[in-house]
Amino acid sequence: MTPDQYCQDKAAQSGSSFYYSFLFLPPERRRAITALYALCRELDDTVDEASDASVARIKLAWWRSELGRLFEGRPEHPVTQALAPHVAPFGVTPQRLEAIVDGMEMDLDQSRYLDFAALRTYCRRVAGVVGELSAGIFGYSDPATLAYADRLGLALQLTNIIRDVGDDARKGRIYLPIEDLQRFGVKAADILNGRYSDDFAALMRFQCERARAAYAEAFAALPPQDRRAQRPGLMMAAIYRALLDEIEQSGYQVLHQRISLTPLRKLWLAWKTYVTGGRAALAG
């Protein structure tokens, strides 16, 4: 199996919505974004699949060393070997990749966030930076597109957090800020024990509104001349905003289940965004 095949399998097996946005890219850019996505999956799995935090820290330390080897031209892992040819052409920097590892390490250091500012730091590292790297792979002419990519990363990560409240609670994690729980009168124990209430619904309505505002800010920051190049990100936005619709229509029933879209619907949304040059996603 070649490094590119390894990354392709990693992306396909994840079942992620991101996979659908890769399908419409030219081959070189598709290989680059698939390698970046596979790297993020490897890092995420290092934290999520480790039963011992100390083991996860050792593995993340290995990945930090591997990133050093990547930029020295001697990567060892299939993922970094696949990413290596794309580092220079698409402006992949060690600082941004290190920031992603920093974000993953935050999951080992804390399972709660006091306020949105603290959560925003986490989202910046695990999603905003990834958004900027992705924007470089997709292609842009205006540096302002990086601001769009960071804000879109925030919006997508907030949507992930909303969708995964129950899954995260079963791992002992609550990403919803403590200040928000207090504001709406929801106890951490209610989330950890899967208890629904009107207060929980109000809390989740607020989280969805915050996510939608982040999408709106991202779209407003996207320079028109880069809209077509950035269609893969807009495909993700279309899919994730439809996911927010489903969550809202369910009455925010996210504690006992993981709400998702069918593969066919994801493909349809991605295709619709592609053929309209991103206008369908922006129109929402």
Q: What is the CATH number of the domain that holds 196?
A: 1.10.600.10
Can you tell me the distance from the alpha carbon of 61 to that of 77, in angstroms, rounded to the nearest whole number?
Answer: 14
Same domain for 273 and 187, yes or no, is yes
Same domain for 193 and 241, yes or no, is yes
Of 1-10, 117-126, 156-165, 186-195, which gets the smallest average pLDDT? 1-10
Same domain for 53 and 138, yes or no, is no
Quote the domain boundaries for residue 80. Answer: 1-109
What is the structure's pLDDT at 283?
A: 63
- Which of 85, 109, 133 is the last residue in one of the domains? 109
Same domain for 101 and 211, yes or no, is no
Is the sign of the CA dihedral 123, 124, 126, 132 positive or negative? positive
Same domain for 96 and 140, yes or no, is no
Burial of 233 (0-12, 13-18, 19+ CB in 10 A): buried
What is the structure's pLDDT at 81?
A: 98
- The one-character DSSP state at 189 is H
Domains of the chain: total: 2
For 73-106, the pLDDT digits (tens) are 999 999 999 999 999 999 999 999 999 999 999 9
- Which of 53, 81, 109 is the last residue in one of the domains? 109
Can you tell me the distance from the alpha carbon of 239 to that of 236, in angstroms, rounded to the nearest whole number?
Answer: 5
pLDDT tier, 279 (very low <50, low <70, confident <90, very high otherwise): low
Can you tell me the distance from the alpha carbon of 118 to that of 105, in angstroms, rounded to the nearest whole number?
Answer: 14
What is the structure's pLDDT at 230?
A: 96
Same domain for 283 and 230, yes or no, is yes
Same domain for 102 and 167, yes or no, is no
Can you tell me the distance from the alpha carbon of 153 to that of 233, in angstroms, rounded to the nearest whole number?
Answer: 9
- Which of 109, 144, 179 is the last residue in one of the domains? 109
What is the structure's pLDDT at 22?
A: 85
Same domain for 105 and 116, yes or no, is no
First to last CA, the chain: 40
Same domain for 122 and 255, yes or no, is yes
Q: What is the pTM of this model?
A: 0.94
Contacts within 8 Å (CB) and 24+ apart, 52-56: 53/108, 56/108
Q: How many angstroms separate the Cα of 16 from the Cα of each of 6, 120, 212, 247, 277?
A: 16, 22, 20, 17, 22
pLDDT tier, 215 (very low <50, low <70, confident <90, very high otherwise): very high
C-alpha of 113 from chain center: 18
